[in-house]
Every structure is written in structure tokens, then in C-alpha cells.
Amino acid sequence: MTNKTTVNEDPFQYIKVSEDEDDANAVEIPCELDGTLLLSTLVAQFPGACGLKYRHRETKTIRGIRLSDGKLHPPSEAGWGKLLYICVFPKENKRKMEDVSPENSAAKTKRLEKKLTCSDLICLGLPWKSTEESIKQYFEQFGEVVMVQLKKDKNGVFKGFGFVRFATYASQMRALAQRHNIDGRWVDVRIPNSKEGVVPQMPCKVFVGRCTEDMTAEDLCEYFSRFGEVTDVFVPRPFRAFGFVTFLDPEVAQSLCGEDHVIKGASVSVSSAAPKIKGKSNQNWKEEPYGSNNWDGNRPGPAGGGKGNGNSNNIDTLNMQNLGINPNGGPPPNFNLPISLVAAALNQAGWGGFLGGQGNAGPNNWQGGPPQGSSGKNWNGNQNWGQNGPPPAWNQGSNPNWNGGKNGNWNQGNWPSGQSWGGNSGGGSASSGGGWNNKSQT
């Protein structure tokens, strides 16, 4: 008798995922054909999950799985293998360390809960055929959705926009940190104007002091990933005995402040990364450590590498920009408005809030403007992407020369023709096709 091994015919690889390190609770989840695992697939089995981690065989430490564009990427060339992967949840993974005084952490958490409330998010440009159900379904890949409201006129005709609310701040952050394509339309998801300035502004970045010279950005990333998704690590080279770690969730960042941690046998201290205000020297920040105007994504990342540094194709850069953080660690662009300067400086230091107030680009626009060399006139105007949106892969790999020339086109949907947004153009030169402006939406 021949054994029918239907399993082998399944083109999808399955990976074992559990809520904890107990194999018994594991669920096998199918990957995509390209080897990535969709976050939505994960969420389908583990509602509210925001990522994956695993215990490294040799180092015995927990490692985070890279998340990019809603896809989870296998640890290395080796692929997912037979390891057990552990689900990461926004809240639950918050405090696993025991090296904190309880009263301290409790008080801190309480404060944070008060500050880090979700707000409704406005979704602009929804497809006419959207339903509250379909929108809810779409956004559930970022976390639990507690409300969806599609706005209609008195006749009950859908007006093309609506509001969504997440259960957790982390989910909200994830949703804000991405561009959204729903049924072929680019949908703008933002903090509503009415909530600007009301939403909490929390630093996502922490200062890590007393680093030793052998601590690489990767070391820090690996270590701190156990507390939450790390979106950036910055370790100055030459050695300066400190570093910065940026988390997706500002709450995680805050919860770590004031703590000491042992990394590679050395005790490091975590504290808040004080915002750098331009014109005022700051204890934690040296101005323009890598030269100015490095906003093109083509520069080599800061020495030390690590997440967000030289990594192509990740959401982190996008996250950071959407969250108002300069992914390259360089200086903020030249805003015209002083308030923007301050905001940009705050953002650079990891204040992943939303630039409220008139004339300031919200998170979605932050990514949109010409980084430099522009008058700033359009840069400060809201909603410049419109339906022509940023190139789908503008943040991936070596970016096209979005500093070069044609700045005036950025806000008008007139993308240079022949520009490739595929994310793999070698160093900014344009190849062909893929014109973002070719996309038509109805």
C-alpha cells in the first residue's frame, strides 16, 4: 500500500507557534510561498498578536522575528525550521523581567495607561463598496478592532471615509505606521484633526548608557526585543559608551526607563532619550553624527548596523517616519516653521507622537515631503499624498533619488515617469516602469 502523503503536496510550509514556550499549545500556521508568514495569518490564530519571537538555540536568548509590511520573515537563511515560535502580544509581553521594583513599575504602568489611550483613527478614501465589516476585517491584522464607523449622509449614502478604533495603543501604532491598500485603493489612516494634540505623545526611543565597546547594535536589538518590537538601534561609532534603542510601542520604551539591564555581562542603564532641540546642545545627542541631509536611504547606516541600519525592505523605516522618527539618525529636515523644528527635533529623539497643530505634517505626511532643498511650502501642507500616495516601496532598499530634482512633483501626484519604485534600483537611479502615478483608482 502506498502511503498518500498529502502533507508533502501542500505547498505551504507550516511553522509551529505557541503563546508560550510550551510545545503542547502550539498551532501550526502556514507560511506564504515566499517563505514569509503573514501577520494576518498569525492573527487569525492568535487574535491580537503583533509579532513572533523565538529562543535562539545557542545564545538561549529570545529573538524577535522581523516584521515588514505585515509579513514576518524567517530568522535567517535557514528559514523557519522546526523551531517553536512564540507569539508576541502588545501588552502581555511587556514585563517579563524581575529586576524592577514592583511599586515603581506599577506606578509607571498606571501613568502610562492614562496617557496612552487610543483614539479613533480616520480612514480617508475608502472604497465605495466598503462595509463596516470589511473594514473591521482589514484592520484586525493590526490588532483588536473595537469600533468601525463608516460615515454616511442623511440618505445613508457612504461618504467614503470612516473611523476605526483599536483596543490597544500598540495596534493603533501599527496601523498608523503603514500605508493601507484596501480593495486597490490607498487609504489614508490618521489621527483625526479633532484629536490632534490630544493624543499622547510618548517617546519611543530610550537612551542606553554604560554600553561597552563590544556591544553592537545587533546585541542591543536582540536584547531589547524581548520587551517589545524594536524599530531601530543606534550605536555610535567610534565607541561612545551609549546607544539608542527605539521601540514601536512607546509604552515599552517608557517602562524600561530608569532601569539597569545586564547585556554581555555589563550593566547598562536605560533612560529617556532627551529630545534634542536644535540650537541647544544636549547631553544625549551629538548633532549630525553622520553628516547632514542623509535622508535618501542610500547612505550606509550608522556604524554598528543592526535593525533599521542598512536593513532594506523593512517596515521599521516606515514606522519610524510615520511615527515621526528619523530612520537614519540624521538631522531633521529644514522645516520652515519653528514649531515644526521643535517637533522634528522631538521626533528625532524618539518622541513618536503626532505633530499636531496647523501647518504641521501629520504622520502620514512626514514621509511625504522632500527632505531637503525644498521651500517647505508643500512639505508642511497636509495630505499631500492623496491617492497618488508614496511609492509602494519607497522605503525599501536603496531608495530612488527622492532628494534629487523634481521636488515640486512630490505633492502633486506627478511622479517622475520611468522611476522605479520596486525598491531594488541600485542606488537611486531610475529604471523603468512601475510608475506610481500610473495607478488609477476609481
Partner DNA sequence: GTTGAGCGTT
CA 32 to chain centre: 22
Residues 90 and 252: their CA atoms lie apart, in Å, by 9
Q: Which of 126, 170, 245, 252 lies at the binding interface for DNA (CB under 7 A)?
A: 126
Q: Judged by CB under 7 A, which stretch of 26-34, 35-43, 193-201, 351-359 contacts DNA?
A: 193-201
- Is 439 among the residues that bind DNA (CB under 7 A)? no
**285 DSSP 8-state letter:** B
Among residues 383 and 437, whose Cβ is nearest to DNA?
Answer: 383
Residues 86 and 65: their CA atoms lie apart, in Å, by 10
- Is 409 among the residues that bind DNA (CB under 7 A)? no
Between the CA atoms of 285, 330, 385 and 146, what dihedral angle is there, to the nearest 10 degrees? -40
Task: Show the binding pattern over residues 348-387: x = contacts DNA (CB under 7 A), - = does not.
Answer: --------------x-------------------xx--xx
Q: Which of 161, 178, 218, 341 lies at the binding interface for DNA (CB under 7 A)?
A: 161
Among residues 25 and 358, whose Cβ is nearest to DNA?
Answer: 358
Task: Read off the C-alpha cell for 251.
Answer: 509604552
CB of 157 to DNA, least distance (A): 6
Question: Is 271:209 a contact under the CB 8 Å cutoff?
Answer: yes
Residues 403 and 414: their CA atoms lie apart, in Å, by 15
# binding residues, DNA (CB under 7 A): 31
Residues 146 and 244: their CA atoms lie apart, in Å, by 34
66-85 positions binding DNA, by CB under 7 A: none
Residues 16 and 102: their CA atoms lie apart, in Å, by 34
Q: Which of 84, 100, 105, 163 lies at the binding interface for DNA (CB under 7 A)?
A: 163
Residue 271's identity, in one-letter code, is S
Q: How many helices (H) and strands (E) does the chain have?
A: 10, 18
Q: Which of 190, 261, 276, 307 lies at the binding interface for DNA (CB under 7 A)?
A: 190
Among residues 184 and 310, whose Cβ is nearest to DNA?
Answer: 184
Q: Which of 5, 76, 281, 442 lies at the binding interface for DNA (CB under 7 A)?
A: 442
- Is 167 among the residues that bind DNA (CB under 7 A)? no
Residues 438 and 214: their CA atoms lie apart, in Å, by 49
Of 337, 312, 321, the closest CA to residue 396 belongs to 312
Task: Read off the C-alpha cell for 12.
Answer: 505551504
Q: Where are the alpha helices (DSSP H) in 32-157?
A: 39-45, 102-115, 132-139
132-151 positions binding DNA, by CB under 7 A: 147, 149, 151
Question: Is 273:282 a contact under the CB 8 Å cutoff?
Answer: no
Dihedral sign, Cα of residue 268, residue 269, residue 270, residue 271: negative
Among residues 123 and 230, whose Cβ is nearest to DNA?
Answer: 123
The kind and range of the H/E element at 233 are strand 230-234
CB of 110 to DNA, least distance (A): 25
Q: Judged by CB under 7 A, which stretch of 123-131, 216-224, 264-272, 353-361 contacts DNA?
A: 123-131
Q: Judged by CB under 7 A, which stretch of 29-37, 58-66, 115-123, 222-230 contacts DNA?
A: 115-123
Residues 329 and 428: their CA atoms lie apart, in Å, by 20
Among residues 413 and 428, whose Cβ is nearest to DNA?
Answer: 413
Q: Judged by CB under 7 A, which stretch of 4-12, 16-24, 156-164, 304-312 contacts DNA?
A: 156-164
Q: Judged by CB under 7 A, which stretch of 35-43, 187-195, 260-268, 272-280 contacts DNA?
A: 187-195
3-state SS of the chain: helix, strand, coil percent to 5?
25, 20, 55
Q: Judged by CB under 7 A, which stretch of 191-199, 210-218, 289-297, 308-316 contacts DNA?
A: 191-199
CB of 364 to DNA, least distance (A): 9
- Is 193 among the residues that bind DNA (CB under 7 A)? yes
Residues 198 and 195: their CA atoms lie apart, in Å, by 5
Residues 243 and 254: their CA atoms lie apart, in Å, by 16
Q: Which of 79, 127, 258, 289 lies at the binding interface for DNA (CB under 7 A)?
A: 127
Task: Read off the C-alpha cell for 125.
Answer: 478614501
Residues 371 and 334: their CA atoms lie apart, in Å, by 8
- Is 192 among the residues that bind DNA (CB under 7 A)? yes
Among residues 29 and 182, whose Cβ is nearest to DNA?
Answer: 182
Q: Which of 71, 185, 261, 307 lies at the binding interface for DNA (CB under 7 A)?
A: 185
Among residues 21 and 183, whose Cβ is nearest to DNA?
Answer: 183
Residues that bind DNA in the complex, under the rule CB under 7 A:
119-120, 122, 124-128, 147, 149, 151, 157-161, 163, 165, 185, 190, 192-195, 362, 382-383, 386-387, 441-442
